[in-house]
């Protein structure tokens, strides 16, 4: 017998229509009703749970926290990465970190990159990650004529030095995002973030203060926000500094651990255990 049962929801919404996923979700929803508490890592995730019939009183929101000790870039490695991928040491790089899957919408990033390239041809673009759509995404880059401007970093365990290569960090994902770790990590590294205004992204990024929020599937809006950062480097630098302050005050690892400890203790007391 398990005394306390807690489940989690890490996304903000899921629009997968495949039968297998739908069956899995029905089973997940059924079992979730037996949990004492459900933890979402964003308010968007909480709304998603409510839409699935979960009692709001049993839902607790605890945002992700970032371990800054594991997010320390190495300048020599940054220089090596830039050299290996044909990126000049001081050249401008706009990057996106995400699995190569449909919900991350790399197509919008590539279309936005084409607009950015037309305005500022020296800009380079980097994709960090891998996945089932890799061949499709490489083909989209070729079709856009930007093959010489794109670097594919692949999957990397220690991403700090790769993220540090970016001047601006983008995320074009649809509303499935909960509390995106890559947005948190980018902000911790003082990178202004341009992210789609879906899922929990707006709970992390403060529009025009720590980054920009743009509509989903809108490459023009994405490009406009990125170009604003590139053309106003002082403003972008200050946005990055404020972004790191946000991480220190709201998204630290210590805060997350403390929130979970309090949740466990409260739940145990309510159950009359110990």
pLDDT tens-digit map of 260-269:
999 999 998 8
Q: For 188-225, what is each residue's pLDDT tens digit?
A: 999 999 999 999 999 999 999 999 999 999 999 999 99
Confidence of residue 4 (pLDDT cuts 50, 70, 90): confident
Calculate mean pLDDT across residues 18-31: 72
Other CB atoms within 10 A of residue 259 CB: 16
pLDDT of residue 52: 87
Q: Where are the alpha helices (DSSP H) in 145-203?
A: 160-163, 181-188
Q: Decide if pLDDT at 29 tops 90.
A: no
How far are the Cα atoms of 4, 6, 166, 194, 269 from residue 170, in angstroms, in the given order?
A: 39, 33, 9, 5, 43
**Residue 200 tokens, joined:** 């929990």
Q: Residues, the chain, total?
A: 274
Average pLDDT, the chain: 93
**Residue 84 tokens, joined:** 């290996």
Q: For 131-168, what is each residue's pLDDT tens digit?
A: 999 999 999 999 999 999 999 999 998 899 999 999 99
pLDDT of residue 130: 97
The sign of the CA dihedral 136, 140, 143, 145 is negative
Secondary structure class of 202 (helix, strand, coil): helix
């Amino acid at each position: 017998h398990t005394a306390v049962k807690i489940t989690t929801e890490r996304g903000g919404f899921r629009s997968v229509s495949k039968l297998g996923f739908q069956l899995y979700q029905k089973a997940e929803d059924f079992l979730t009703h037996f949990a004492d508490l459900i933890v979402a890592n964003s308010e968007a995730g909480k709304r998603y749970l409510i839409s699935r019939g979960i009692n709001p009183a049993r839902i607790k929101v605890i945002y992700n926290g970032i371990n800054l000790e594991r997010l320390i870039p190495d300048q020599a490695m940054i220089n090596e990465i830039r050299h290996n991928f044909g990126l000049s040491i001081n050249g401008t790089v706009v990057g996106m970190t995400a699995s190569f899957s449909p919900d991350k919408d790399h197509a919008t990033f590539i279309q936005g990159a084409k607009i950015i390239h037309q305005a500022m041809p020296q800009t380079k673009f980097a994709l960090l990650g891998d996945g089932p759509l890799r061949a499709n995404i490489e083909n989209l880059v070729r079709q856009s004529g930007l093959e010489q401007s794109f670097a594919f970093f692949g999957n990397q365990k220690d991403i700090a030095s790769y993220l540090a290569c970016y001047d601006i960090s983008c995320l074009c994902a649809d509303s499935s995002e909960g509390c995106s770790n890559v947005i948190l990590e980018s902000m911790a590294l003082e990178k202004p973030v341009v992210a789609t205004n879906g899922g929990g992204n707006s709970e992390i990024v403060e529009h025009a203060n720590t980054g920009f929020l743009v509509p989903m599937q809108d490459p023009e809006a994405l490009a406009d926000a990125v170009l604003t950062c590139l053309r106003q480097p002082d403003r972008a630098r200050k946005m990055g500094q404020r972004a790191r302050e946000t991480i220190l005050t709201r998204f630290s690892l210590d805060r997350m651990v403390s929130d979970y400890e309090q949740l466990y203790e409260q739940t145990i007391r309510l159950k009359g255990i110990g």
